[in-house]
Structure 1
Amino acid sequence: MTRPDDEETPSPPEGYVPSEGRGAFSTLNGPYFHRAGDGLMAEQAFFALRRHANGIGLVHGGMLSAFMDGVLAGAVWRGTGKRAVTIHLSIDFLHMARVGEWVMGEAKLTRATRDVAFVEGRAYVGSHDVVRCSGIFKLMSRDR
């Protein structure tokens, strides 16, 4: 029997590279990948493994939520150059993602004040949106 830790992730989609330095929680839930580039749109992805799924083989809503929280935070970083913490996250689940699929995420900063950033994003598989979400993030003045 294959243990969940023994599952292999295939090579990421073209243009995506492994994400590192995201902290223990994300390292445990990943691996995550991001599209390198200078644009303001944050683009990330993960390959849905059995450990990401519920008992019927669908990617767990908690996994999608954690993934999108990171994608939105990435858009805050790209748009403001500041680290941030989530103060509100709203997610609409629209379609299913299954084990064996690449789940793609994208987000953009829609507005930022001195202290707070607003972002919107989506996760999708192929041509189907899986979730749409929005978030509000507290901008951090320093790393701690």
Structure 2
Amino acid sequence: MRRGELADGEAAPTPPEGYVPSEGRGGFSTLNGPYFYRPGDGPMAEQAFFAVKRHANGLGLVHGGMLSAFMDGVLAGAVWRGTGKRAVTIHLSIDFLHMARVGEWVMGEAKLTRATREVAFAEGRAYVGGHDVVRCSGVFKLMTRDG
């Protein structure tokens, strides 16, 4: 797949202003994407994806598993921004608040709330337009070179 191309060969529409394709996320995310992120030095990690049919359940709504996987990555991005370390998820808590539909840009943002030497905490939300779709929090094991 080329940058910005969906797994079925369909091109994603132009991302929201300031967002660029995200690369190097691994096979699972590559197949679910493409994902986009907003570069910057601030504390907030910001990412997005364009919802297509393969992201949806039988009702045409973005599947909760897709939203969960997306927000897991957004939270991990916040941990990376805040600590400069890679991390793996220990705990993920998600509240589903509203629906996202095929044909919409799903936006995600998260921030690091606390970090120790070995564990980091983050919270965030996904939204479409003016409404929150999910709110979430996560706990992450910070990785060192030797694991």
Partner of 1:34: 37
Q: 1:56 to 1:143 in 2, by over 3 A?
A: farther
Is 1:75 aligned to residue 82 of structure 2?
no
* Aligned with residue 126 of structure 2, among 119, 123, 127: 123
Residues 89-129 of structure 1: CA deviation (Å, up to 9, x unaligned): 00000000000000000000000000000000000000100
Q: Sequence identity of aligned pairs in percent?
A: 87
Give me the CA root mean square deviation: 1.1
Partner of 1:139: 142
Is 1:104 aligned to residue 107 of structure 2?
yes
Residues 7-27 of structure 1: CA deviation (Å, up to 9, x unaligned): 331000000000000000000
Q: For structure 1, list consecutive stretches of 5 or more residues without a partner in the other structure.
A: none
Matched to 2:31, the amino acid is L
Is 1:92 aligned to residue 83 of structure 2?
no
Matched to 1:34, the amino acid is Y
Q: 1:143 to 1:104 in 2, by over 3 A?
A: farther
**1:83·1:143 contact (CA, 8 Å) conserved in 2?**
no
Paired positions, count: 141
Matched to 2:134, the amino acid is V
Residues 60-107 of structure 1: CA deviation (Å, up to 9, x unaligned): 000000000000000000000000000000000000000000000000
* Aligned with residue 13 of structure 1, among 11, 16, 21: 16
Structure 1 residue ranges (4+ consecutive) displaced by more than 2 angstroms after TM superposition: none
Q: For structure 2, list consecutive stretches of 5 or more residues without a partner in the other structure.
A: 1-6
TM-score (norm 2): 0.93
**1:7·1:49 contact (CA, 8 Å) conserved in 2?**
no
Matched to 1:26, the amino acid is S
TM-score (norm 1): 0.95
Partner of 1:47: 50
